[in-house]
Structure 1
Amino acid sequence: MKGSLSTALLLAGMLAVGSVAAAPRTVTAPDAPRALQADGPVSVKWDDPAKFTELRQSSNRFEAERGDWVQQLARYVQTSAAKPLQAGQTLDVTLVDIKRAGDYEPWHGPRGSDIRIMRDIYPPRITLQYTLKDASGRIIDEGDARLSDSGYLHNIGLKSDTDPLRYEKRLIDDWVKRQLTSRVTAAR
């Protein structure tokens, strides 16, 4: 009896610890990263996501902060922006503000606040700061970029229609293609 009681307490303790670890991750968690590990020529960091428009103006802050979408977007910036860089060039990017496409509309009923609604009035927006350097460390270009696509629902040719960050990733792709690639090639 005594052995079974201690075993039951041990199992209950393990379940309690397991359920704490299984809690959904949020982008505002104190232990959530604020930068990606340096891996290649592009470094990406971000300000406190609690200050992002996505969270400040959301109709459902709980749903808006769930997951690791900031880190996913940062990884996407890191891999996409590395492609046009020449040997020795480096790019430092800071994600200053993010507003994901769509928003929650709780006035549609009990489940309305759990569903992200896509409408033209909720376009994706990303504000970032960047510094592009050559192999010697000399600054080639730096500045702020305000990315937005008010016609995001009407554009075709998305890589994936199931990726919840597809509209934001397209903003990043457009920035890399239009602005970053031209700066990199002009620096040759």
Structure 2
Amino acid sequence: MRPLFLLTLIAALVAAPAHAARTVTDPSLPRALPADGAVSVEWTDPAQFSDLRFSNNRWEAQQGDWVTQLARHLQERAQARLPAGQRMDVTITDIQRAGRYEPGAGINYSHIRVMREIYPPRMTLNLRITGADGQVLAEGERKLSDMSYLQTGSTINTDNLRYEKRMIDDWLRRELPSPQAVARGDAG
């Protein structure tokens, strides 16, 4: 029994540095997605994002690659909606993910993100859309939020970023309506 414990401990210690290095604030990581098609997405320093600055558990909040995942989702969905010949450049300047770490929940729960109506997902980004001729079609700052994130959507979805991704999808439907929606006069 003892050798099994030692092997488990050694495996955990070897894996710990790899896990610890996987944070959104790692300065060696890129802050932009590879150019892919007509949509480019980059982001400012994640250490300055609201999700980390106002977190009650900064260590837990910076774990993983959630900034890259959200940027990739935005790029893929925008690419699918952007009219042919247009280009979209996005810089994400702030993210506040849905939920918060609540310190009063106790030490056993300090790593759990609590979802409450008062903790909606938010994102701020700068946008520039240009036509095939280079003319600027849309430009400026956009502030995204989903104040009713707990009332809509499926409870079956287990994606940790489902609320943020849905917020991005809703915004893209408004920002880049499909040709059919434009013809009907709505934003679908």
TM-score, scaled relative to structure 2? 0.83
SS of corresponding position for 1:173: helix
Choose 1 or 2 for highest CA Rg: 1
Q: How does 1:55-66 map to 2 (within 5 A)?
A: 55-66=52-63
Query: What corresponds to 2:49 in structure 1?
Result: 52
Does 2:140 align with 1:143?
Answer: yes
Query: What corresponds to 2:102 in structure 1?
Result: 105
Mapped to 1, the partners of 2:121 and 2:19 lie a distance apart of: 30
Contact 1:128/1:144 (<8 A) preserved: yes
Query: What corresponds to 2:166 in structure 1?
Result: 170
Query: What corresponds to 1:82 in structure 2?
Result: 79
Unaligned runs of 5+ in 1: 1-14
Show CA shifts across 1:132-153 (max 9, x none): 0111211111111111111110
**Counterpart selection for 1:36 from 33, 36, 39:** 33
Mapped to 2, the partners of 1:77 and 1:22 lie a distance apart of: 26
**Counterpart selection for 2:23 from 26, 33, 42:** 26
Q: Percent identity?
A: 55
Q: How does 1:7-22 map to 2 (within 5 A)?
A: 20-22=17-19
Deviation, structure 1 residue 181 = 2.3
**Counterpart selection for 1:71 from 65, 68, 72:** 68
Q: 1:18 to 1:58 in 2, by over 3 A?
A: closer
Unaligned runs of 5+ in 2: 1-11, 184-188
Mapped to 2, the partners of 1:50 and 1:131 lie a distance apart of: 24
Mapped to 2, the partners of 1:101 and 1:19 lie a distance apart of: 27
Deviation, structure 1 residue 57 = 0.2
Mapped to 1, the partners of 2:161 and 2:13 lie a distance apart of: 33
Query: What corresponds to 1:7 in structure 2?
Result: none
Contact 1:24/1:67 (<8 A) preserved: no
Deviation, structure 1 residue 102 = 0.2
Residue-pair matches, total: 171
Contact 2:123/2:145 (<8 A) preserved: yes
Query: What corresponds to 1:181 in structure 2?
Result: 177
Q: Which amino acid in 2 is paired with 1:163?
A: D
Mapped to 2, the partners of 1:144 and 1:169 lie a distance apart of: 19
Q: Which amino acid in 2 is paired with 1:71?
A: T
Contact 1:45/1:74 (<8 A) preserved: yes
Mapped to 2, the partners of 1:105 and 1:22 lie a distance apart of: 23
Q: 1:135 to 1:124 in 2, by over 3 A?
A: same
Alpha carbon RMSD of aligned pairs, Å?
Answer: 2.4
Mapped to 2, the partners of 1:106 and 1:175 lie a distance apart of: 32
Q: Which amino acid in 2 is paired with 1:69?
A: W
